[in-house]
Amino acid sequence: MPVVHPEPPDGGWGWMVVLAAFFQSALVFGVIRSFGVFFMEFVGYFGELAGRVSWITSIGIAVQQFASPVGSALSTQYGARPVVMAGGFLSGLGLLLASFATSLTHLYLSIGLLSGFGWALVFTPSVASVARYFKKRRTLATGLAFTGVGLSSFAFSPLFQLLVDTYAWRGALLVVAGMSFNLVVCGTLIRPLTLKEDLAGPGDPGASCLGKLSTLFGLPLLSHGPFMRFVLAVTLINTGYFIPYVHLVARARELGFDEYQAAFLMSVAAVADLCGRLLSGWLADCRAFRLGHILVAWTSLTGISLALVPLGRGYPLLMAISVCYGFFSGALTPVVFSILPEIVGIGRIFGSMGLLQMMESIGGLLGAPFSGWLRDMTGDYTASFLAAGAFLLAGSLVLVTLPNFSSCLEISHIGTLDLGSPVPPTGSGLCL
């Protein structure tokens, strides 16, 4: 019989889960963020417009998010370990098949659909597992796990450019596929954890199969007003968030900088991203500021930095803006995932995170193609980055509308919200 923990242990084997999530975030979003190196290669090789090529990354991001409830439901039913291992295999297989592509459709299917689905089975269960192992130090643990994104983005952009120059884009994709298969190894480090709240879950033993399936996928959360408003905000944020990782390299090349100068912009942004995640984790866990206020601040600053990209026509200024974007965008990420358990309770973390990732996939699907379409229509990336910044600023405005944003009650009140009600009970609020 498994050992039941009354609350997250805040350490122990949890640090190994953080280590696993570190490598998983590196090999999922580190690869996605550095894929701009392949973007120019695909445009040149296939002779397609930027908007059409942008769909490769956008489909992958969207599938990773849209299929997240599947990963969450499977993790709830069978545990996160086998689900993450299966996802690691699929993500590597998709990149392997992409190296034989003869058309954009082939890349849509291999990278977009297959690798994207593998990323869905890896990312959401691993992040949720970190949240389940920590409570007081949850934001710091999440921030440490997500530093894998910053470090890998710093290393992968120039590495991928070197691989492309040495082996062409097909050989480079083969190497990236081999790297991605290491996600299977990372999955073995996720040890199952049984919490007391799991035994007192909302499931009804007498419910129908349809009802049990609905609970498994977290569908009762669709009637939870604050959760749905949070989802809307994150969707708007997500629409603009990834645009620099698809088009910033292309923007730099458009201004006349060589490929290594362009790739170095992403590397410097990645270092700033790493610093932002660590500072944000420490700042949130010291409880000097409310999580909601921290998130709104980071989101607004990220939007402003994106809107300033068109002003960076000289390399030093463009570098400075890239550093600001990397720091602010890195800082907001761990806060997003740390707030979620306080809204719905740790027992519903798998379902809520899956739904959040699925519904914000709208932003991931449309963001980069919309940016590419604006570039094709206007002839440069000015409108693209202005629109990206506007989406993040709109997301910060939605966050401000969450209940009791200007006040805060104890976190212990949050997990007891009745999910059958569209708003929190009288007298309770979100400790954001």
DSSP 12: T
Domains and CATH numbers, the chain: 4-416 (1.20.1250.20)
The CB-side HSE value for 115 (13 A sphere, CA atoms) comes to: 33
Least confident of 38-42, 172-176, 393-397: 38-42
pLDDT of residue 427: 31
pLDDT of residue 205: 57
Query: pLDDT band at 146, cuts 50/70/90?
Result: confident
pLDDT digits (tens, 9 = 90+) for 162-210: 999 999 999 999 999 999 999 999 999 998 887 777 665 545 555 667 7
pLDDT digits (tens, 9 = 90+) for 103-120: 889 999 999 999 999 999
pLDDT of residue 204: 56
Which range is most confident: 15-24, 151-160, 218-227? 15-24
Dihedral sign for Cα 377, 380, 383, 384, please: positive
Q: In 3D, which of 388, 385, 372 has the Cα closest to residue 52? A: 372
Angle of CA points 406, 329, 301, to nearest 5°: 55
Note whether 123 and 115 are within 8 A (CB): no
Tell me the angle at which helices 68-78 and 50-66 cross, rounded to the nearest 10 degrees.
30
Torsion from C-alpha of 295, 297, 299, 302, nearest 10 degrees: -140
Q: How far is the C-alpha of 97 from the C-alpha of 220, rounded, in Å?
A: 38
**With b meaning 16 or more CB within 10 Å and e meaning fewer, what string describes 181-218?**
bebbebbebbbebebebeeeeeeeeeeeeeeeeebbbb
Note whether 343 and 281 are within 8 A (CB): no
Indicate the length of the chain as a whole number. 432
Query: pLDDT band at 432, cuts 50/70/90?
Result: very low
Would you say residue 421 has pLDDT above 60? no
DSSP 194: E
Mean pLDDT of 220-229: 86
Which residue would you say has higher pLDDT here, 155 or 306?
306
Q: How far is the C-alpha of 372 from the C-alpha of 376, rounded, in Å?
A: 6
pLDDT digits (tens, 9 = 90+) for 302-343: 999 999 999 988 899 999 999 999 999 989 988 888 888 877
Q: How far is the C-alpha of 147 from the C-alpha of 352, rounded, in Å?
A: 23
Least confident of 31-35, 197-201, 237-241, 399-403: 197-201
Q: Report the percent of the chain where pLDDT is more than 70.
A: 90
N- to C-terminal Cα separation, the chain: 36
pLDDT digits (tens, 9 = 90+) for 57-101: 888 887 887 888 899 889 888 889 999 999 999 999 999 999 999
Q: How far is the C-alpha of 109 from the C-alpha of 115, rounded, in Å?
A: 9
Q: In 3D, which of 89, 137, 119 has the Cα closest to residue 26? A: 119
Q: How far is the C-alpha of 245 from the C-alpha of 249, rounded, in Å?
A: 8
